Structure 1
Amino acid sequence: MPESVHVEVLTAVFQVRECADAGHTLHVLLVRRDGEWSLPGGDIGDRDTLSASARRHLSEQAQLTRVAHLEQLTVFSDPDRVPQHRTVASTFLGLVPRDIPADRTSDDVAWVDVAELPALAYDHAQIIDQARQRLAAKLSYTNIAFALAPGAFSMSELSEIYGAALGYTVDATNLLRILSRRGVVVSTGTVGRTGRSGGRPPSLYAFADTVLRVTDEFATLRPPM
């Protein structure tokens, strides 16, 4: 590789968060670097792997140390993606569960609804879009939602998490049928708190595995017609 080429790592970290006026929505972690909102990232350490560099920048720039899932996304290598200097970006997708506090925000760190992104540096909006597409695809044929869900959840809560990540409403009954058939979720034998409207306490479930695995390589989750 020519000495004039710079290599950086960038990570799109998602968390589903509940907003009073919008319900559950997918948020992405942004940091302000060089006066612009950007994805967390930067140089690769002399002795770091790419993933270790990604985790280091998340910790140093946003004090985020608990990421339930991190995977390499793709490489962005357009010669003009960074005008000042030829820069290749190795990008990552990261996921944080709902029950992990992620409120360490400041003037330079923020969790932002992906539907309301500010102006971002360079091609970072494109990276976020690709990361969201990767997440949506893997929700269909893997158990990746374990990295977005709390340790125990009702199916209505899990359907809201799926819906926020996919961008459309997901029926809780159908979701339970699909995930139970694939052995993705199991009953905890406990119940949660009754909602504001009363009624029976909801049954609680948990993911059978907390590492990524393919559950149905030919499956797709489709939006309602």
Structure 2
Amino acid sequence: MTNGNTAHEVLAVVFQVRRLDTPKPQLSVLLWERAMDPQRGAWALPGGSLRHDEDMTSSVRRQLAEKVDLREIAHLEQLAVFSDPHRVPGARTIATTFLGLVPSPATPELPPDTRWHPVSALPPMAFDHGPMVAHAHARLVAKLSYTNIGFALAPREFALSTLRDIYSAALGYQVDATNLQRVLARRGVITRTGTTAPAGRSGGRPAALYRFTDSLLRVTDEFAALRPPT
């Protein structure tokens, strides 16, 4: 879509909690390395130009599928518009960002120039893509407080310890599993499956498994806010 000399692009900030089976799971973002100038070697968000015959959601889904072979996204929503006249060299280009979430432990196939990077340690970023990641992360943190958006980051079934690790990685601070279970169960966000996880090597009582009640986004408490421990 263009208006005079103005172009329009759509960019996806796709998050996944990675290394979930390690002591330090990480919220990571999907980036690809630019092979041409301007800013060759910098890392960028997947996306590209909006075609005249498609809406923005269709465009971002197409480009994710074409460029990074990422076809299974549990949640995708439009976030913000970045319209600084000088955000990229050349013709003015307005960018619309989308938030995408991939559940753990999915392992989508990626091309050689595309990788997951920890949000806490981003590589050199192209243009204004760094602030875009920061903005999307802030929106994810907010929505973890007042919606059920955790369904898009978690496995289909999970132990409370796994859910704790996912929320801790996404929020950026340690979460107590018991308090998290109490809050989410009271809001009807998660429910017991009636089954348990396989026993671990150390033995002990098998952990109860839970699932998210819904797999579509809904507001659970519009005034709620998860806060780091004091």
TM-score by length of 1: 0.95
Q: What CA RMSD, in Å, does the superposition of the two structures yield over aligned residues?
A: 1.5
Q: Indicate the residue corresponding to 2:9 in structure 1.
A: 8
The amino acid across from 1:100 in the alignment is A
Equivalent positions of 1:199-210 (< 5 A) are 199-210=204-215
Q: Indicate the residue corresponding to 1:78 in structure 2.
A: 84
Q: Percent identity?
A: 54
Q: Indicate the residue corresponding to 2:222 in structure 1.
A: 217
Q: Name the stretch that deviates more: 88-97 or 192-201.
A: 192-201
Is contact 2:20–2:166 with CA below 8 Å preserved after alignment? no
Distance 1:141 1:127, change over 3 A: same
Question: Secondary structure in 1 aligned to 2:59?
Answer: helix
Question: Secondary structure in 1 aligned to 2:25?
Answer: strand
Deviations 1:110-162 (A, max 9, x none): 01111121111100010000000000000000000000000000011001000
Q: 1:113 aligns with which of 118, 133, 156?
A: 118
Is contact 1:31–1:61 with CA below 8 Å preserved after alignment? no
Q: Indicate the residue corresponding to 1:158 in structure 2.
A: 163
Is contact 2:14–2:99 with CA below 8 Å preserved after alignment? yes
TM-score by length of 2: 0.93
The amino acid across from 1:158 in the alignment is L
User: How many angstroms does 1:197 deviate by?
Assistant: 3.7
Q: In 2, distance between residues paired with 1:68 and 1:3?
A: 36
Q: In 2, distance between residues paired with 1:3 and 1:93?
A: 28
The amino acid across from 1:91 in the alignment is T
Is contact 1:99–1:151 with CA below 8 Å preserved after alignment? no
Q: 1:179 aligns with which of 158, 175, 184?
A: 184
Question: Secondary structure in 1 aligned to 2:150?
Answer: helix
Is contact 1:29–1:112 with CA below 8 Å preserved after alignment? yes
- Unaligned runs of 5+ residues in structure 1 are none
Question: Secondary structure in 2 aligned to 1:157?
Answer: helix
User: How many angstroms does 1:61 deviate by?
Assistant: 1.0
Equivalent positions of 1:91-102 (< 5 A) are 91-102=97-108
